Amino acid sequence: MNEMPKRFGARINLRKGHVDMTHGSGGRAMAQLIEELFVRHFDNELLSQSNDQAAFQPPSGRMVMSTDGHVVTPLFFPGGDIGSLSVHGTINDVAMSGAKPLYLSAGFILEEGFPLADLEKIVKSMAAASREANVPIVTGDTKVVEKGKGDGVFITTTGVGVIPDGIQISGDLAKPGDAILVSGHIGDHGVALMSKRDNLEFETEVASDSAALHGLVAAMIDEVPDGIHCLRDPTRGGLAATLNEIASQSGVGMHLQAADIPIRNDVAAACELLGLDPLYVANEGKLIAICAPEVAERLRDAMHKHPLGTNAAVIGTVNDDEHGFITMMTEFGGSRVVDWLAGEQLPRIC
Amino acid sequence: MKFVDEFRDKDLAKRLSSAVAAEADPSKQYNFMEFCGGHTHAIFRYGVQDLMPDNVKFVHGPGCPVCVLPIPRIDNAIELAERDGAIVCSYGDMMRVPASKKRSLLKAKASGADIRMVYSTQDALRIAHDNPDREVVFFAIGFETTTPPTAVAIKVAEKQGLKNFSVFCNHVLTPAAIQHILQSPEVRDIGTVSIDGFLGPSHVSSIIGSEPYEYFAEEFQKPVVITGFEPLDVMQATLMLIRQINAGRYEVENEYTRVVTREGNCKAQDLVAEVFELRRSFEWRGLGDVPYSALRIRDAFSEFDAEKRFAVQAGNGRDVKGCECPAILRGAKKPTDCKLFGTVCTPDNPQGSCMVSSEGSCAAYWSYGRFRTEKESRAKVA
């Protein structure tokens, strides 16, 4: 960043200051917050042009666009915070089409009184996540609401990307006979958050799995350019909800083997304690892949070679069932239905 | 997971399954009522029915604490929450149970009532501490298992001189309900429900012991086996029931010896007796008025009794028309016998209480058993 011109007099007090209504007013205080906090940390050429939009030349191929609002509570949790989550979440939504994510935008709704030190922590974490993913935040927006009208900070991110030619991945392409894979342990994010909630704090080493998955997706497509039919990240509602969505989109059923689904002991124990079914607990750094049976092993091996897929496993098969039932052979030897989630298992997990 | 996986072992399950198949007399039909929702849940979640021969069936009983609460009591809880400055604390399962006029605690919360979901009575006490200018009411529900913690909360509130905490008491008693089912005309006279034995409550029995079941095992000549909530417990207890029936015995046996004794938890019993007394009668959803089947707060603790403090009136809300929850709770009908099941009544839009809690028979059927029903009906057509 270049030497900052002295337009604002004293710098914003990021150590002790708080968000106030002027930070969203469109005046000098807002410009100063944007410059000294957002532009400084996100630090890229497009954002530094200080326009209300970012202009860029898209590469050839089909464009993908996705948006995601983040209202997670608590804002900081083991393994991440609302900042890194808002970057990972949108990158993943773009990447699940097979696309290479290119740019992000970020909209902040800040509550009056929110400590600027916490805001800086969140912004730094977003900047680090976006740098690591090599997907810059190129435009944004800041609004402030009165105290009591928000909950600290809400962040909406939008991402754009481009799908390489020849790739066809979509939730309606699962076919009977296809294999179902998951990229690793399920339920980490939900359990990590629950362990820090005010009314049920418990001690666990489990950290959120929040991560950007586009690198893993690229590695998978490199190895198996044909034959990956669906990709989706099982966030809210967990593995169960995501598989039901795909089954309903594709008009198929599925059969899972409980014994093959990777679950950490700590997560299983926490779920046991809280009366939750880990199949319904949220993830933020896992994906489900559905592929032709003949490439399943090759795809799993390719996932194993990537740091975010070392525990990938084939967990079941797609079958021909007009009712769209997801059934599962339990570890106990009986069968059960894995239904949609009813009601709300845990609000505000992302 | 230690102390959990041992009770879900596939190989042991296979062996028990073979033992049940070998010992069940093919000329007999065995119908066992599992009283507790926890058992219903285990049977469906692990597919235990799959591991039983065709002539051994589970009849789902009324042991889901959320399901048995009658509509007027939920209406009362909503009225309490709608009072100015009130906070009602409830266990999460209760939030979506339909009250009268298509209302529920969740809907009351959305329209402005301050209703907080809590995991324990301690959370409710903390909320009362943190909000000294608000009236905090704990919506106490459940069988003998959840009663001692409510007693503790009342004692703690008394000791700490909490002036803004009270309990809306809806605690109910298991043995009275089982006895009522056995005396019902469907079981005794008409014979539409055949119950050959009971898988007895597990957590409830850890408090009350196995002794309270001895009277009706003898009186009604039905075997009872106290059963843990793990799937292997259910299978082992089923085998024990079959053995009793084959031998012409009707005793109270204890499969859940790792937790339950004949006497139970005397300290908890004393605490409950100190704080609560029997109600002459209490309405159960599905069972109607059941004599001496519930508890109320003793006069000595009346300042913590929300019913007295806010002069709660008995309401007259009724079930949704066509809802078969009452008959399902008695074991007289199966969820699939209900016209509303799976049509207007689903876990996302529950009309009756059995569809709400994961322990309710309708929700368990919907989530875990629907596929089986579908498979069976397809097999019949073919």
Cα nearest neighbour of A344 on chain B: B348
Residue keyed to tokens 């928000």: A150
Q: What is the 3-state secondary structure (H, E, C) of chain B?
A: CCCCHHHHCHHHHHHHHHHHHHHCCCCCCEEEEEEEHHHHHHHHHCCHHHHCCCCEEEEEEEECCCCCCCHHHHHHHHHHHCCCCEEEEEEHHHHHCCCHHHCCHHHHHHCCCCEEEECCHHHHHHHHHHCCCCEEEEEEEECCCCHHHHHHHHHHHHHCCCCCEEEEEEEECHHHHHHHHHHCHHHHCCCCCCCCEEEECCHHHHHHCCHHHHHHHHHHCCCEEECCCCHHHHHHHHHHHHHHHHCCCCCEEECCCCCCCCCCCHHHHHHHHHHEEECCEEEECCCEEEECCEEEECHHHHHHEHHHHCCCCCCCCCCCCCCCHHHHHHCCCCHHHCCCECCCEECCECCCHHHCCCCCHHHHHHHHHHHHHHHHHHHHHC
Lowest model confidence (mean pLDDT) among A3-12, A90-99, A122-131 = A3-12
Which of A263, A273, A336 to probe by mutation at the B interface, max B CB count within 10 Å? A336
**Beta-carbon separation of B47 and A332 below 8 A:** yes
Among B370, B371, B373, which would you mutate to test the A interface (most chain A Cβ atoms within 10 Å of its Cβ)?
Answer: B371
| Chain A residues touching residue B87 (CB < 8 angstroms) | none
Nearest CA in chain A to B374: A323
Name the CATH architecture for the domain at A21-163. 2-Layer Sandwich (3.30)
Residue of chain A whose Cα is closest to the Cα of B365: A337
The domain locations on chain A are 21-163, 179-337
Interface of A with B (CB under 8 A): 199-200, 265, 268-269, 272, 275, 277, 323, 325, 327, 330-337, 339-340, 342-343
Q: Which class would CATH give B5-62+174-254?
A: alpha beta
Facing residue for B48 by CB, picked from A268, A275, A334 = A334
Chain B residues with beta carbon closer than 8 angstroms to that of A263? none
Provide the pLDDT for residue A251: 94
- Each residue of A259-315: pLDDT tens digit? 999 999 999 999 988 878 899 999 999 999 999 999 999 999 999 999 999 999 999
**CA–CA dist A337, A327 (Å, integer):** 4
Which residue ranges does chain B devote to CATH 3.40.50.11740? Answer: 71-173+264-309
For chain B, the residue count is 382
- Range with the poorest average pLDDT among A187-201, A219-233, B43-57, B65-79: A187-201
Taking contacts as CB-CB distances below 8 angstroms, the residues of chain B near A275 are 358
Look at A269 and B346 and tell me if their CB atoms are within 8 Å: no
pLDDT for B382 equals 46
Specify the range with the lowest mean pLDDT, choosing from A110-119, A231-240, B39-48: B39-48
This prediction has a pTM of 0.84
Q: Which residues from B are below 8 Å from A264, CB to CB? A: none
CB contacts, 8 Å: A331 with chain B: 8, 10
Pick the residue with more confidence: A205 or A256?
A: A256
* The CATH classification of domain B71-173+264-309, taken from the options 3.40.50.11740, 3.40.630.40, 2.60.120.1090, 1.10.3720.10: 3.40.50.11740
Q: From the list A200, A275, A333, which residue is nearest B10 (CB)?
A: A333
- pLDDT tens digits, one per residue of A165-175: 999 999 999 99
Task: Quote the pLDDT of residue A228.
Answer: 97
Q: Where in chain B is the domain with CATH 3.40.50.11750?
A: 5-62+174-254
**What's residue A347's pLDDT?**
60
What pLDDT shows up at residue B326?
78
Return the HEC string of B164-198.
CEEEEEEEECHHHHHHHHHHCHHHHCCCCCCCCEE
pLDDT, residue B60, reads 80
Q: What is the mean pLDDT of chain A?
A: 92
Domain A179-337 adopts which CATH fold? Phosphoribosyl-aminoimidazole Synthetase; Chain A, domain 2 (3.90.650)
With beta carbons under 8 A apart, name residues in chain A contacting B15.
none
Q: What is the pLDDT along chain B (382 residues), one digit of tens a residue?
A: 777 788 888 899 999 999 999 999 999 999 999 988 889 888 888 889 889 999 999 988 877 788 888 889 999 999 999 999 999 999 888 888 888 888 899 999 999 999 998 888 999 999 999 999 999 999 999 999 999 999 999 999 999 999 999 999 999 999 888 888 888 777 766 566 688 999 999 999 999 999 999 988 998 899 999 999 999 999 999 999 999 999 999 999 999 999 999 999 999 999 999 999 999 999 988 788 899 999 999 999 999 999 999 999 888 877 778 888 878 877 788 888 999 998 888 877 788 878 876 667 788 787 766 655 655 555 544 4
- State what percent of residues in chain A have pLDDT above 90: 79
Interchain contact, B50 vs A265, CB within 8 Å: no
pLDDT at A344 over 70: no
Between A99 and B347, residue with greater pLDDT = A99
